Each structure stands twice: as structure tokens, then as C-alpha cells.
Structure 1
């Protein structure tokens, strides 16, 4: 058996020894019942690691005793190598978890400040009258995490043939794929437009395609990140 295989056997023995020790401690209710938290911590970080060491040594001893690789290192040496691999795997796992936890600790899209924007245009059916200023138009981004008031940009209003088009923007503060834009024009029914962006809402320089509601109105939009056009 190759030395790397012996180390792998030792790693398996260490994991089995850790788990077996922890299970046995739990089954026999080992520790101070009046202080179960301390008992649990001792089991996790003291007694179970001792079981892991015993498991690694025992596994390497069994392989050594089989006589298949008498010249591939001592039991103690290979056990130490196996435990070293286990420690490295644990450190790597903890590091990955910490990195993931840090990245997802808050759902903010841009924790460094300067939130991206949802830039949108709404095209109304022919014959619908809309204000030529921001008076009488209310915009609100609704998500499962927050609501955010938006603003229209009257200078960007235009007509597409006989259809009026309004334009505006609203901040995208959080990572979530559950977004919708409420557009309320005074004297008209409230319109809710689903916003089909991924949770991270990557920057796009061009508007997407028009998306139609049942009433004939349409919306198109894009995500605009700070420093980009």
C-alpha cells in the first residue's frame, strides 16, 4: 500500500474516531447535566479530538499489522500526517464558511456605498393621459426585504407614436430576486410590474425588451451600477 493510501486510511480513521467518540458521549450522557453547554463543548473540542487521534493511530496500526507495507513509514509518523491532513481540511472548511458568512452576512448589493439603480421606462396604451411632470406619479420598488420610493425623470418622458412613455429610476439596495415596481398615476388603477432581475442585478448598458401587462401597458428596465453608464 502506498504511503498516500495509508494517510487516507488514517484520515478515515480519525473522522470515524471523532464521530464515534461524540456519539458515545451523547449516548451515555457523559458530562455535567447541570452544565450541558460546557459538557458539549468539552465533547466537541477535547474528548472527540482525542478519539480522532486514537482512530488515526488505530487505523494505521491495523494497516501496519497487515504486513502489506512494512517499509512505508512508522505508525506514529503516518498518524501524524493523517491528523495534519484532517486539520488542514478543517481549517479550509472553516475558512470557506467564514468567507461565505461574510459575503452573505447582509443582503446589501453594494456594502461599500452607492447602490445600483433600476432604470426603467413605462409605455402606456394609446389614449392614456399621463402627467408631463412628476406631479401625480408615484413610484415604489417592492421586494421581500424592503420597499424603496422611486423618482420619475420628466426630461426623459417622450411619446412613442401615440403612446406616452415615462422614465425614472429607483435604488436597488438588497440582493433578492423578488422585486416588483408599483407605478401609480393619479386617477388610474395602480400598476404592478414584475422585475425579472437576478438577486445580484448585474449592470446592463441597454434596456431589456418591453414586458406587457394585461392592461396593455409595458415596461422595460436595466440595472445601472455606480460609475457605469
Structure 2
């Protein structure tokens, strides 16, 4: 068998030995029950590595050429190479995990600058009472991570035939797909509009289609990122 194949077999043996000792340690409930954290650390960093060493040596012996007595040097060399490869794989895996954990440790949408905006328009049924200014209108973006107050833009209010349309914007601070916009007009029931954007809310230059609530009001929206129109 080629040396690379022996090393690969040794790596598999090391992994199997590590996992086997850790599982055995857990099933047989070794360690101090009064201090499970220390027991777990011992299993991870002391006993299981010993199992990895044993697994690598055993696998190296098993894959040696049949009918010949393997030399101690070749078995030891293959075992060391296997353990080295396994250690490098562990380090690479830990590095990838740390990089991923760092990138997703905080769910900010844009950590390097200003947050993107949810720009929206709400169109009310004909005959609905709608203020012509910001007074009496409150906007709140609600997510599973936070709530964020929004603002209306009276200068962007307009009529669409016999229907009144209000416009505004609110920051999208967090990376989550669970969003809804609460539009409250004084003296009227709160209107809650689901916001169907992906967690990263990519920039879109144009509004989406109108989405209707049961009361006949409609909303359309888009995500606007800093530096884009």
C-alpha cells in the first residue's frame, strides 16, 4: 500500500479513535459528576487525544503489507504523519469555525457603515381618514431581534385616484427575515404589514408590487442601501 494511503488510513483511525474514546467516556459516565465541565474538558483534550494516537497506530499497523513484519520506524512514521494531518485538519476546521462565528457573531446588516433603509408606501382605501402631515402617524419596524421607529415623509404623500398614499422609511439594522411594519394612525386600529425580504435585504432600485391587508390598505416597499438610489 502506498505511503499516502497508509497516512489516510491513519488519519481515519485517529478520528475514529478520538470519537470512540469520547463516546465511551460519555456513555460510561467517567469523571466527576459534581464537576461535569472539568470532566468534559478532560475527555476532549486528554482522553480522546490518547484514543486518536491509539487509533492512528492501530490503523497504520493494519494497513501494513500482509505477510511482512512492519518495522517500528515505518509504523511510527506513518502514525506521526497521520496525527499531523489530523491535527492540521482540526486546526483548519477550528479556523473556519472561528471565521464564520466572527462574521455572524452580531447579526448587523452593515457593520462597516450606515444601515440600509426600508423605503415604503402605504395606500389606503378610498374614503379612509389619512393625515396629510406626520402628526398622528407612528411607524415601527418589528423583528424577532429588535424594534425600530420609522419616519414618514409628508412631502412624498400623494393621491392615487381617490386613494391617499403615505410614504416613509425605517432602518433595517439586523439580518433577519422575520420583519413586519406597524403603521399606527391616531384613533384607528394598528395596521401590521408583513415585510417579505430576505435576511440580507439586497438593494432594489424600484418598489415591489402592492400587498393588500384585509382592511383594504396596501403596502409596497424596497430596500435601499447607503450610497445607492
TM-score by length of 1: 0.89
| CA–CA separation in structure 1 for the residues paired with 2:211 and 2:19 | 55
The answer on 1:81 being equivalent to 2:62 is: no
Residue 52 of structure 1 deviates from its aligned partner by: 0.9
Distance 1:123 1:31, change over 3 A: closer
What CA RMSD, in Å, does the superposition of the two structures yield over aligned residues?
2.3
User: Which residue of the partner structure matches residue 8 of structure 1?
Assistant: 8
User: In the alignment, what sits opposite 2:181?
Assistant: 181
State the SS of the aligned residue for 1:204.
coil
SS in 1 for 2:92: helix
Distance 1:136 1:29 in 2: 64
Residues 54 and 184 of structure 1, relative CA distance in 2, 3 Å threshold: same
1:102 corresponds to 2:102: yes
Name the residue aligned to 1:148.
148
Report the counterpart of residue 165 of structure 2 in structure 1.
Answer: 165
Aligned residues: 227
1:134 Cα deviation from its structure 2 partner: 0.5
Q: Which moved more, 1:32-41 or 1:200-209?
A: 32-41
Residues 199 and 28 from structure 1, CA distance in 2 versus in 1: closer, same or farther, beyond 3 angstroms?
Answer: closer
Q: Return the offset for 1:187.
A: 3.1
1:125 maps to: 125
- Structure 2 Cα separation of the partners of residues 203 and 132 of structure 1: 29
After superposition, what is the alpha-carbon deviation per residue over 1:96-125, rounded to whole angstroms, capped at 9, x for unaligned?
211221122122222234111100001111
Q: Tell me the equivalent position of 1:207.
A: 207
Cα 1:215–1:56 change in 2 (3 A) is same
Residue-by-residue CA offset, 1:146-199 (whole Å, 9 max, x unaligned): 211110001111111121111000111111111111111223332111100111
- SS of 1:111's equivalent in the other structure is coil
Q: Distance in 2 between matches of 1:138 and 1:34?
A: 54
Distance 1:28 1:208, change over 3 A: closer
> Match of 2:92?
92
Q: Secondary structure at the match of 2:223?
A: strand
Change (3 A) 1:21 1:129: closer
Is the alpha carbon distance of 1:67 and 1:204 closer, same or farther for their aligned partners in structure 2, counting shifts above 3 Å?
Answer: farther
- Distance in 1 (CA, whole Å) between partners of 2:195 and 2:44 is 47
Matches of 2:173 and 2:65, distance apart in 1: 63
Distance across 1 between alignment mates of 2:155 and 2:113: 27
Q: Relative to 1, partners in 2 of residues 1:110 and 1:26: Cα closer, same or farther, differing over 3 Å?
A: same
